[in-house]
Amino acid sequence: MHTMKEKISNMASSAKKHVNIGKAQLEEKLEKASASTEEQKELAHERKKAKEARAKMVLHQDKVKHLQEKMRAKQPQYLHGYGYDLDHDPTLDRDETTAPPYHHTAHPPTHGHHKY
C-alpha cells in the first residue's frame, strides 16, 4: 500500500519536473528570440540549463521525502499504547502519587461488587 503511494507521489513529482523543464525551454526560446547578440543567446541557454538542473534537484528531493514517509510508516506501532508513550514524560506529572487510595494493610475497595 505504501509502495503504491510512493510510486504515485514519484510520478507526480516527475510530471512536475517535466512541466518545469518545458517552461524553461519555452522561456529560452522567448529569450533567444528577443536577444540581439550571441552572448545574450548563450546566457538564455545557460539559464535554461540551470532551471532544468533545479527541476531535477527538486525531483530528487521529493523522492527522498517520499522514501522518508515510507520509512516512517514502517516504524513499529506496538510502542504506542503499551506503556511506551514516547511523547509523554511521566516525570513532569508531580500531582499524581503512586500510593493506592486506601491504606496498604486494608482490603481494596470492592467497586460496588458486594456479596451479602
Please tell me the predicted confidence (pLDDT) of residue 72.
78
Please tell me the predicted confidence (pLDDT) of residue 19.
94
Q: List Cα–Cα distances, 84 to 73, 74, 98, in angstroms.
A: 18, 17, 18
33 inside domain: yes
Residue pLDDT tens, the chain, 116 long:
558 888 888 899 999 999 999 999 999 999 999 999 999 999 999 999 999 999 999 999 999 998 888 887 776 655 555 555 555 555 555 555 566 555 556 666 666 666 65
Number of domains in the chain: 1
How far apart CA 14 and CA 58 sit, in angstroms, is 10
Q: Residue type at 82?
A: Y
102 inside domain: no
Please tell me the predicted confidence (pLDDT) of residue 53.
94
How far apart CA 19 and CA 12 sit, in angstroms, is 11
50 inside domain: yes
Whole-model pTM?
Answer: 0.55
Q: Residue type at 41?
A: K
27 inside domain: yes
